[in-house]
Amino acid sequence: MAVQSGVYRGVSAAERAAERRSRLLEAALTVWADPHTRTTMTAVCAEAGLSERYFYESFAGLDAVLEAVMDGIAAEIEETGRRAADRAGPDPEARIRASLRAFVQLLLDDPRKGRVAIVESVAVPKLRQRRTELLRYLAHQSALEAREFLGSPDRSEIADETAGLLFVGGLAELVTAWLDDTLAVSPDEIVDSAARALLGLYR
């Protein structure tokens, strides 16, 4: 009866499928972030310890799983930064620094995420546009946050959006240089430089 109903050892078929999908996402993150490993569906399946049959259970192809990885990282960056800012209270500079510190800490805790979202995604033609969309979305969220806590009634929404794009684009390049070891900068220096840049753009 348990097998017929899709439950095996107390775990439903849907739960098992979700667990396999999670394993594939984690495997894709690991493989994609490794510059010495070619990112293929076979490599992702091998890392996850699953067959291609289970891969297609969750994803239409390699680009689909890589896009899901990117979307997950972007959502985590946004949520982590928002929680940190809210804990910091209403002071604009404190919110900015808390959000940036949380972002940098996320990359320190799992360097794969920064490498994939900011560096490796540029090399995949079909995902380059998705990277651009995500960066522009984060720039828009930055503009909304700045408009609420730093905004001036004399500034237009276009000016705020422009500043958001300049900030997020510059931050992405700064983090890229940091991750590539082409810029000897500490996490605290990244937070300080980015905070000063954002404040300068909106004040």
Same domain, 55 and 80: no
Q: Does one domain contain both 55 and 111?
A: no
Is the same domain home to 67 and 89?
yes
Buried b (16+ CB within 10 A) or exposed e, 117-133: bbbbbeebeebeebbee
Two structure tokens written together for 47: 């890392």
User: Both tokens of residue 196?
Assistant: 């000063």
- Residue 125 sits in the same domain as residue 173: yes
In this structure, are 74 and 121 located in the same domain?
Answer: yes
pLDDT, one tens digit per residue, over 44-91 is 999 999 999 999 999 999 999 999 999 999 899 999 999 999 999 889
Read off the tokens for 54: 């289970």
Q: Are residues 13 and 103 in the same domain?
A: no
- Residue 12, SS3 per DSSP: strand
Contact 118, 124 (CB under 8 A): no
Q: Give the pLDDT band of residue 123 (cuts 50, 70, 90).
A: confident
| 197 CB neighbour count, 10 Å cutoff | 17
Q: What pLDDT, on the 0 to 100 scale, is given for residue 4?
A: 44
Model confidence band, residue 118 (pLDDT cutoffs 50, 70, 90): confident
CA angle 98, 73, 169 (to 5 degrees): 65
Question: Which of 59, 80, 102 marks a domain boundary?
Answer: 59
- Report yes or no on 2 lying in a domain: no
Q: 131-166, pLDDT tens digit by residue?
A: 888 889 989 988 888 888 877 667 788 988 898 999
Residue 51: CATH number of its domain: 1.10.10
31 and 118 in a single domain? The answer is: no
Q: What is the mean pLDDT of the chain?
A: 88
Q: Based on the domain organization, do 97 and 22 belong to the same domain?
A: no
- Domain of 106? 63-202
Spatial separation of the C-alpha atoms in residues 44 and 83, rounded to whole Å: 32
Q: Which of 23, 41, 59 is the last residue of a domain?
A: 59
In a domain, residue 25? The reply is: yes
- Sequence-separated (6 or more) residues with CB below 8 Å from residue 170: 194, 197
Whether 174 maps to a domain, the answer reads yes
| Domains: count for the chain | 2
- The verdict on 49 and 149 lying in the same domain is no
Is 17 part of a structural domain of the chain? yes
pLDDT, residue 2, reads: 43
User: Do 54 and 73 have their domain in common?
Assistant: no
pLDDT score at 12:
82
**Domain CATH number, residue 179:** 1.10.357
Q: Do 130 and 168 fall within a single domain?
A: yes
Predicted confidence at residue 50, as pLDDT, reads: 94
What is the value of pTM for the model shown?
Answer: 0.83
Can you tell me the distance from the alpha carbon of 66 to that of 72, in angstroms, rounded to the nearest whole number?
A: 10
